[in-house]
Amino acid sequence: MSKPQVTFIEQNAPIDEYGRALYAVSRSVLRAMLDTLTEEDLTDLNTPLLDVRMRQLAKVARVDRDKGLRGDGFEWAVHEAILGKEERVIDPLHHAMRKASKFVKDAAPQSLMFGHERARYLGFTDAVVDAAGAQSYILPEGSGRPFHFGTWVANAAQGKVAEAFLPPRIQQIWKTDLFVSAEDDARHFAATVKSNFDLLEGGRGLRIGIVPESTHPLNRAGVRYSPAHRLWIVTLADPNGFMGLFNDAYQAVGRAIITLGKQPLPAYWTKPSAKAQRIEEQLKKYPDATVIDIESALDEAAQQDLVSAKERLVGVNAPNWLHIKQLAPRIISPKPRFDKLD
C-alpha cells in the first residue's frame, strides 16, 4: 500500500527579528486553518487536502464566527515557536518545566503536537510515539513510577472514553495538546494550551498550562503554580511579548482570508501593524495558489536558510474525499514569493 509523505519542519536557529517571526506565526495560523478543515468541508470543495487553494479555504473559513479557530491558531503558533526556539516562549516554558521537575535537563524545550481530535487519523499516534522515542515516559504529578510514553498515549488518543482504561494519575491525559520535553531528555510533560485563561482546565496527568496574559488578577505574564488547576502556568506576555506577535499575525491572515472569501469585514476586526499589513497584502495576491505552497513560501520568508526538513512516512487510510472525481479545471498559479520586511 502506498503511503503519503509527511514532512516535519525543524527550525535550526532562533527567530530573532520581528519581521521573520511575523512570517513564522502567520504560517502557523494558516496551518491551523487548513488543519481544521473537516472531511465534509473537503467533500464540499471536491478537493484533496493538499490541493486546497487559498480562495477555497477562504470560502469555508469563518474567521469572525469560529472562536475555536483562534485557539487552534494559538496552539500551532506555540508549538512551532517552541520548535523555532522563540525565546519569548521557550524561556518561560523551560522555567516551568524545571519547576515541575528539578531533574529536567538544562536544554532547549521540544514539542510534540497531540490533541486527541487529530489522533483519529490512522498513523498520527504512531508518528507522535516514534518522534518521542522508545525510552520516553510521561511524568505526571505526585510520587510513583512514571508511565511509558507509547503505551498510554495510544490509549489517550481515544479521548474522554479512555478515562476508564487509564491509571488514576494520568486519567485525563487525553486533554493534552502538546507533550513538551527538554532536548534529548526522556521526560515528557503533558501540556494544555488555551487562547483564553478562563477556559483553562486542569486534569490528572496534565502538568503545564500555556495561556496568553489577561486582565485576570492571577494571570500576569510569567510562570506560577495554580493550586486550583494543579498546573504550572506559563502566561505569555501581551502586548509586548509573544501574544503581541501572535495577535498581529492572526489579524493579518484573518483579514486576508476574509477578503479572499468575499466576506464582510467585521467592525471589531483590528487593523494589524504596518509590517503585518504587508503580509496581508501579499497573501491576497495568490488566491489560486495552494495553501501548502503559501506555507512553503512563508517558511522561506521566515527562516530562509534556517530550516531543515525531516521526512517520514506515515500510513494513513485514505478518507472518502480523496476518491471524488476532480470536476474543476486545473488552474495555473504563479509561485508565491514574499519580500523581506526589513
pLDDT tens for each residue of the chain, 342 residues long: 443 333 334 445 444 478 888 888 999 899 888 888 888 888 888 888 889 999 999 998 877 666 678 888 899 899 988 988 888 999 999 999 999 998 898 899 998 888 766 655 556 666 777 777 778 888 888 777 888 887 788 888 888 988 888 899 999 999 999 999 999 898 999 999 999 999 999 999 999 999 999 999 999 999 999 999 999 999 999 988 899 999 999 999 999 999 999 988 877 778 899 999 999 999 999 999 999 989 888 888 776 544 444 433 332 233 332 223 233 345 556 678 887 786
Are the C-beta atoms of residues 185 and 220 closer than 8 Å to each other?
A: no
Give me 63's grid cell.
Answer: 474567521
| Inter-helix orientation angle 291-303/18-35, to 10° | 160
How far is residue 89's CA from residue 25's CA, in Å, rounded to a whole number? 12
Could you tell me which residues are beta bridge partners of residue 148?
Answer: 137
Distance from the first to the final alpha carbon of the chain? 47
Distance, CA of 121 to CA of 168 (rounded, Å) = 27
Distance CA 153, CA 24 (A): 29
Q: Which one-letter amino acid corresponds to residue 154?
A: A
Query: Which residues lie below 8 Å from residue 184, measured CB to CB, with a gap of 6+?
Result: 105, 107
Q: Which amino acid is at 98?
A: R
Residue that is written with C-alpha cell 536544554 in the block:
107
DSSP letter (8 states) at residue 231: E
Do the Cβ atoms of 90 and 104 come closer than 8 Å? no
Which pTM value belongs to this model? 0.79
Helices 242-260, 67-83: axis angle to 10 degrees equals 130
